[in-house]
Structure 1
Amino acid sequence: MNKSKKVFSLLTVSLFVLSLSVSASAKEKKKHHEQPKLEFPVISDTQLTVGNETSHRKLEHALQDLYNINHNSDAMVINGDMINDGRAASYEKFRDILNQYPHPDKTFFTIGNHEFFKNDGNEASIGRFLDFTGLDKVYYEKNVKGYPFIFLGTESWGPVDSPTKDSAVLSDAQLNWLNQTLKERSKTKKPIFVFLHQPLPHTFYGTDIDYYKNAVIQDEELKNILSKYPQVIFFSGHMHWDLRFPGMFLQKDFTMVSSGAVYDTWGPDGNGYETVIDPEGSQGLYVKVYDDKVVIKGRDFTNNKWLKEYQHTVDTPK
């Protein structure tokens, strides 16, 4: 090979290597700066009552912190126990705080057990929830930027002192609707977000204690439906258990996510029961959805910081 050909050959190789490096760098930069397709917080168990100023302060602080994270979240979910006593006056106070503090226009609600705590019957309790939310039923579906949000809710509560007090009771009609809705939405590969206040028994850390063994009366039926759809991400509240405990996020046939509690944080008492471990604790979630994954981050509202122990990624097919 003469000298000029050798120089040309070396130059060609150098340019090829440089182009590969630039291409890899561009891809990495694009990946690093990839923007989420959808962002939304999930909170639960604000347990507000009209006379409890601590509950007002904690809700206000959580709303402000979430707004500081992102002024333009696409939606927000409040996953049950928004009020503590089921009374119309507490709903009105909740509405006042929402009107005073920034939050997404698309804010959705599920019914929890405390929405029944006025203890004047299922019909009256559900009626107050529907009046507040403007919904027709405790179960419904919404679409946010092309992603399905499916909301479930108990249709009965109590009686007091029975094993089913505070449990989710899901009718055949609701379960059939869920199954059909999931069947339709699963035709795409997008994640499907499902919300119910109560967690499935024998799943998260703590759900083996007696109180949670009846958390969802139709737990086997619900689990069987959700298990058919691996793209389901199922969010629940109710427990208040600190998100920093292990086992508060599970991936099996579908993904299960605990959303903590805004009002306080709980944990085991060492005797087979549970107890408040931090009366000032206040936690929730922030969710970012990308083309190929969903990132779920735990938030400490009391200290305005992320929970390093609760940083999870759910991979989704493109």
Structure 2
Amino acid sequence: MLKFIISVFLAMDVFGFHQIPSEQSQQSQTETQTQQQKQSGETTENVKKVVAKQQDETGDTDPDLQLAVISDTHISTTKQSVVKKFETALQDLNTVAPEYDVLAVGGDMTDHGLPSEYDLFNSVLKANMNQNANTFMVIGNHEWMEKKVNRNSKVTDSQLIERFKSKMNVPGIYYDQSIQGYHFITIAGEKSESTMLATYKNEANADSAYISDEQYNWLEKTLANDADSTKPIFVFLHQPITGTVYGSEWGAGLEDQKILALLKKYPQVILFSGHSHYPLNDSSNIVQDGITMVNTSSVAYTYTKGTGKNTVQSQGYVVNVYDDRVEFKAREFSTGTWIKTVTIPISKTNQLN
């Protein structure tokens, strides 16, 4: 009987809650959804206590590495609501994962890449994050958008790159870092929205990620550097690879399939992407096709083509890395509840549990 009850709880944990079907009925349905999430969250916590007890007996309780992964905070000095949601997300992460080792932010930290937006982002981050954690910052397409709000701006792409490097304290827009023996790599689009429009003459490519041959060659060498097939390599690109995870119709485009083919040479790669804002309840948020690809949704708001913008939801992940598996725990920050948990074995990256 106990096994049957646990299996029921696990099924509830996997399927999570349903997204809001329309903006018009969003408020009333959000209240219902919140109650459902609270119930689901309590069930998930109960199941996790059972699992934790079982792990205590085997000595496998603490992850080797714990990541907090978020994206698309869209901090703006004129939008206090998104600032508050960023604060709430960081505070919630401190509650459920107080000793996380790495905070990774997958792009669109700011709404338009303005210096004042970076400063506000950093102020909120410093006041609310785990002070002992490493940070890993990824540039998004919105960091390139100063000219969208100031058409008279003379800022160049090179200046926007230098601004990102300076404000985020990183060596470049694509770079790698070793954190507690794990390899972190970020790749990035290299041109602003205005440059992309001028180059490709259409809106469709405005948000695409232009990746130069120089960056591709760097990635090829960097992936090979001390690669260990028994340990995941964490790769970040703000835009998803087209035709992969939930929301990837808003993909990186251009040379993204070439990038995917390169990444597939390393099955231990876990690729995180944001950009689409698509919520984390869908089963295709984590897709495995040669590598593991993960949609990270958004802290500021969620979105789908069918439902439009949902300004209530605010989402991200706690990722636990063990010797033999990686556990992705999707979190709804607005209600402080778990959405679902997905586990992949490290040695068998072609199978989801």
Q: TM-score range by the shorter chain?
A: 0.7 to 0.9
Paired with 1:201 and 1:56, the residues of 2 have a C-alpha distance of: 30
Aligned to 1:200: 241
TM-score (norm 1): 0.84
Instruction: Give the drift of 1:27.
Output: 8.8
Q: Does 1:314 align with 2:351?
A: no
Instruction: Tell me: higher relative CO, structure 1 or 2? Use CA pairs within 8 A at least 6 residues apart.
Output: 2
Paired with 2:134 and 2:55, the residues of 1 have a C-alpha distance of: 33
Letter in 1 for 2:315: Q
* Deviations, residues 205-239 of structure 1 (Å, cap 9, x unaligned): 3324xxx25x2321121011011110000000001
Paired with 2:338 and 2:101, the residues of 1 have a C-alpha distance of: 20
Letter in 1 for 2:273: S
1:139 aligned to 169, 174, 178, which one?
174
Q: How does 1:60-71 map to 2 (within 5 A)?
A: 60-71=87-98
Larger Rg: 1 or 2?
A: 1
Residue range with higher mean Cα deviation, 222-231 or 101-110: 101-110
Q: Does 1:238 align with 2:275?
A: yes
Q: Does 1:57 align with 2:89?
A: no
Change (3 A) 1:90 1:253: same
Instruction: Give the drift of 1:201.
Output: 0.5
Paired with 2:287 and 2:281, the residues of 1 have a C-alpha distance of: 14
Tell me if the contact between 1:191 and 1:232 (Cα under 8 Å) persists in the aligned partners: yes
Paired with 2:242 and 2:60, the residues of 1 have a C-alpha distance of: 39
Change (3 A) 1:289 1:28: closer
Instruction: Give the drift of 1:158.
Output: 2.6
Q: How does 1:296-315 map to 2 (within 5 A)?
A: 296-308=328-340, 311-315=341-345
Aligned to 2:264: 227
Instruction: Give the drift of 1:55.
Output: 1.2
Residue range with higher mean Cα deviation, 32-41 or 93-102: 32-41
Tell me if the contact between 1:157 and 1:164 (Cα under 8 Å) persists in the aligned partners: no
Q: How does 1:4-153 map to 2 (within 5 A)?
A: 29-31=56-58, 33-103=60-130, 104-119=132-147, 120-153=155-188
Change (3 A) 1:187 1:88: same
Tell me if the contact between 2:174 and 2:187 (Cα under 8 Å) persists in the aligned partners: yes
Q: Does 1:174 align with 2:215?
A: yes
Paired with 1:207 and 1:259, the residues of 2 have a C-alpha distance of: 12
* Deviations, residues 65-93 of structure 1 (Å, cap 9, x unaligned): 00111221111100000000110011111
Paired with 1:48 and 1:27, the residues of 2 have a C-alpha distance of: 41
SS of equivalent residue, structure 1 residue 96: helix
Paired with 2:159 and 2:59, the residues of 1 have a C-alpha distance of: 51
Q: How does 1:159-170 map to 2 (within 5 A)?
A: 159=194, 160=197, 161-170=202-211
- Percentage identity across paired residues of the two chains: 35
Instruction: Give the drift of 1:112.
Output: 0.2
Paired with 1:172 and 1:109, the residues of 2 have a C-alpha distance of: 22
Aligned to 1:17: none
Residue range with higher mean Cα deviation, 184-193 or 249-258: 184-193
Q: How does 1:252-271 map to 2 (within 5 A)?
A: 252-269=289-306
Change (3 A) 1:114 1:186: same
Tell me if the contact between 1:157 and 1:167 (Cα under 8 Å) persists in the aligned partners: no
Letter in 2 for 1:152: I
Structure 2 stretches lacking a partner, 5+ long: 1-52, 148-154, 349-353
Paired with 2:209 and 2:115, the residues of 1 have a C-alpha distance of: 22
Q: How does 1:283-294 map to 2 (within 5 A)?
A: 283-294=315-326
Paired with 1:90 and 1:29, the residues of 2 have a C-alpha distance of: 44
Tell me if the contact between 2:55 and 2:61 (Cα under 8 Å) persists in the aligned partners: no
Instruction: Give the drift of 1:186.
Output: 2.2
* Deviations, residues 89-120 of structure 1 (Å, cap 9, x unaligned): 11111111122213353111100000011024
* Deviations, residues 142-162 of structure 1 (Å, cap 9, x unaligned): 111111111111111233453
Deviation beyond 4 Å, 4+ runs, structure 1: 26-29
Change (3 A) 1:28 1:263: closer
Instruction: Give the drift of 1:136.
Output: 2.6
SS of equivalent residue, structure 1 residue 100: helix
> How many residues are treated as equivalent by the alignment?
282
Paired with 1:259 and 1:92, the residues of 2 have a C-alpha distance of: 24
Letter in 2 for 1:106: N
